[in-house]
Amino acid sequence: MNGELKQKFPSWTNDWYTEYDLVLSDDIDSLLSCELLRQLKGYEINYFYDFERIYKVKNTPINENIIGVDTDFVRGKNWGNHITISNANANLNCICDITNDNYSKKYCGSTALEIISYYNYDISHLTEEGKMILLAIDCGFKGFYNEYFHNIQKYYLCDVMQLEELYQVIQRHTIEEFYEVIRKYKLYGKIYIKQGRLTTDIELKALSEMLDLPLLLPNCEFELFRKFQRKNKSISLLSEQDMQNVVSLAFTRKNFVSYTISL
């Protein structure tokens, strides 16, 4: 990653001593990011957040040291990739001062690629398809094929994250080939709780082989920890009470947000 921008990330990203628990959210970007953090720093998933509820691993102590992973919490420590209202996240859009005012200049890639870049995680041994998977998560390839976003996408991928090898992969493929990767591995699939355990339709076994990482859901029982209410609306319509009670928030369009509030 670009050294000047890397220095702007929160200091906890370089804390190699504190034992943090991870909060997994409901998609492959979060799961891959959690596994990367486990490989790099030994952190384990102890919570699951589906944007309406938080679950914790049953019969485990509450650790005050937690990191949300692709959760968009407005408080605390988070790795993320969306535009949000917190400026304290490990998130390129926060680091680069991207808001809804300059929405069109946002980073449009995955949290996992940020972690790979930040910690200089080696992906050189992956096959062409393995690298395509990394780009397909959260549709990190799309900007390349849009005349307006092409240079912005190249800026983040090459100049900021210094992942030129992935930019070269995009150049060799059509947009439809990336969508075929998404369909093949069911990258749009969700992670959810069923009878107290995490489950998904995402092709985790095949992805594990392609990415040379054990992408496994925690094999343990979860219990409900807290409930929330999820809302979607124009940012201009958020009430003062909502803003006081907001738990997580992400801009899904320039002036439109998806957010969760405490009950």
pLDDT of residue 239: 87
Does the global pTM surpass 0.75?
yes
Q: Which residues of 160-199 are buried (b: 16+ CB within 10 A; e: fewer)?
A: bbebeebbebbeebeeeebeebbebbbbebebebeeeebe
Is the pLDDT reported for residue 194 higher than 90? yes
pLDDT of residue 95: 96
Q: What is the mean pLDDT of residues 198-204?
A: 98
pLDDT of residue 88: 81
Q: What is the mean pLDDT of residues 138-156?
A: 96
Q: How many other CB atoms are found less than 10 A from the CB of residue 251?
A: 22
Is the pLDDT reported for residue 238 higher than 90? no
| Torsion from C-alpha of 175, 176, 182, 188, nearest 10 degrees | 80
Is the pLDDT reported for residue 263 higher than 90? no
pLDDT of residue 26: 98
Rounded CA Rg of the chain:
18
Return the bridge partners of 227, or none: 53
pLDDT of residue 86: 86
Question: For all residues of the chain together, what is the average pLDDT?
Answer: 96
Residue 42 class from Cβ within 10 Å (0-12 exposed, 13-18 middle, 19+ buried)?
A: exposed
Residue pLDDT, tens place only, 91-123: 999 999 999 999 999 999 999 999 999 999 999
pLDDT of residue 87: 79
Residue pLDDT, tens place only, 9-62: 999 999 999 999 999 999 999 999 999 999 999 999 999 999 999 999 999 999
Residue 263 class from Cβ within 10 Å (0-12 exposed, 13-18 middle, 19+ buried)?
A: exposed
